[in-house]
Chain A
Amino acid sequence: MTRSQISFLAISLPLLVVILLPIASLFLVPSFDDLWLGIQSAIFWKALWVSGWTSICSLILIILFATPLAWWISQQENRIWEDFCIVPLLIPPTVVGLGLLYAFGQQGLLGGVLAQFNIQIAFQPIAVILAQIVVASPLYIRTLIHTFREIPQQTMVVGATLGLSQLEVFRLLILPSCRASILSAGILTWARAIGEFGATLLFAGSLMGKTQTVPLAIYNAFMQDVSIAVSLSISLIVLSVVIFVFFRWSGTKV
């Protein structure tokens, strides 16, 4: 190795260790018995179920609604719309959860109105999806805005000469070329949605099989039986790695 390569390594190594060591320790320190005990508990499977179906719903909704939003923002001159979207990223998730309660809870701005029609959002499974969407979509939108901004003006010109409307340009020219970016943004967003904790805990509650996601179950288990917490943590890591590797090997740029 050259001297500058060694210097780079020396500077980067501490951070690499700090990032990778916690994950490695989860696999290396607890015993296999602990893990086996955890996998057998009801809380484990119910949490995986809740996290699984809610995060997929969140992802689909985000892709459906946030993609056109990101496109629209990317075409605006005024950067203020982009700035609005970053706000949920800057606020601690617990604060987001409190905000969601005040917006959609029974006493909430919108929630109070919906309660008149017997529609309840807070503390229902839909609240899990809502919390995930609020914290994860800024990530998705920001990534796509950058991607869309990099599309050469030429594409738009080509579309115009072919006589396509704005919507058709978006659907037939832009989207197909951005498939890889949408996928990679989607994976990050999905990971963020699955990992969501603070907002979900406050706004959706933590009922097993209904609203208790994997992060909430880990927190609950930690207060009671650490082996379950460890099993859940490991399963989440394994799941994320599997999905990541799958997309890597399928040739998509992630």
Chain B
Amino acid sequence: MGCSSQRETIVIFAASSLQHILEEGDFYNQIPNTDVLFQFSGSHTLALQIEHGAPADVFLSAHPDVMTDLRNKDLLSEDPISFGRNQLVVVQSPRFSQLNSFEELPQAQSIVLGHELSPIGIYTETFLQQMPQDWQEELYKKVVSKEANVALLRSQVLLGEVHCAIVYRSDAQSTKLPFLEIPNEYQPSIDYQIAYIKKEPNHVQSQTRQWVRLFLSHMKHK
């Protein structure tokens, strides 16, 4: 019996907000004989590409609606699994005079938010809707841009181009910038999901399962 020394490739499509976790943790080299390739983008863009035949083995989405959409189109080979908790926080650039609490957000110099159709935008909307109407109005006056992808929000604050952004805690922590907490009662329920994409031949490769198991156990310890 010969040994199968053929290198396999696994393609992981993941929401941009997961880029840091995935590139920090050692998810490349732990599975023997396997190359792991990542593509990061907004969850919706990735889903669109999957619908058009993009060669993803695994998809990690920042919002369950995107995953449900793919499931309804019969593109998943198994049901998605929820993983990871995340929360919204307000990250600030040190170049501007600092706010002391999230309530002061309407007083920021400039704010960037997630685009309404992206997961970060949907979650942000859910949070903002709970605040008083005039507070929201004041805040929207300071919004200078809406991005389709949370990594862009993070970069803009990191570069000091904007004062504040509402991002995920994981994004804020990786910037090492100070951030403001948003109390639990206002937090939207953020649900990341992971699923296997249906591919020919129609069974999930063992290396792919290994990777997913590795990832999920890493997330449990976070």
* A206 to B45 alpha-carbon distance, docked (Å): 12
Check A226–B155 contact: CB distance below 8 A: yes
Total interface residues on B, CB under 8 Å, equals 25
Binding site for A on B (CB under 8 A): 11, 16, 19-20, 23, 37-41, 45, 48-49, 51-55, 149, 151-152, 154-155, 158-159
Check A115–B54 contact: CB distance below 8 A: no
Residues of B within 8 A of A226 (CB): 155, 158-159
Residues of chain A from 230 to 253 with CB closer than 8 A to chain B in the complex: none
Residues of A within 8 A of B40 (CB): 206, 220, 223
Task: Known contacts A206-B39, A223-B154; decide if A122 and B54 are in contact (CB<8 Å).
Answer: yes
A222 near B: Cβ within 8 Å? yes
Check B16–A223 contact: CB distance below 8 A: yes
Residues of chain A from 87 to 113 with CB closer than 8 A to chain B in the complex: 101, 105-108, 111
User: Besides A122-B52, A224-B19, 4 other CB < 8 A contacts?
Assistant: A101-B49, A106-B52, A120-B53, A224-B151
Check B54–A205 contact: CB distance below 8 A: yes
Residue of B nearest to A107 (CB): B52
* A196 to B32 alpha-carbon distance, docked (Å): 35
A123 near B: Cβ within 8 Å? yes
Check A208–B52 contact: CB distance below 8 A: no
Q: For chains A and B in complex, what number of residue pairs have CB atoms within 8 angstroms? A: 58
A207 near B: Cβ within 8 Å? yes
A142 near B: Cβ within 8 Å? no
A35 near B: Cβ within 8 Å? no
* A101 to B16 alpha-carbon distance, docked (Å): 22
Binding site for B on A (CB under 8 A): 101, 105-108, 111, 115, 120, 122-123, 201-202, 205-210, 220, 222-224, 226
Task: Enumerate the 7 nearest inter-chain pairs by beta-carbon distance, A residue then B residue, closest first.
Answer: A106-B53, A223-B151, A105-B52, A123-B54, A101-B52, A207-B37, A206-B39
Closest Cβ of chain B to A149, distance in Å, is 40
Check A108–B52 contact: CB distance below 8 A: yes
Residue of B nearest to A223 (CB): B151
Residues of A within 8 A of B45 (CB): 202
Check A107–B53 contact: CB distance below 8 A: yes
Checking B20, B53, B155, B158 against A123 with a beta-carbon cut-off of 8 angstroms, the contacting residue is: B53
Task: Known contacts A207-B11, A208-B38; decide if A107 and B159 are in contact (CB<8 Å).
Answer: no
- Offer 7 A-B interface pairs, CB within 8 angstroms, sorted by A: A106-B52, A120-B55, A123-B54, A207-B11, A220-B40, A223-B16, A224-B19
Closest Cβ of chain B to A22, distance in Å, is 15
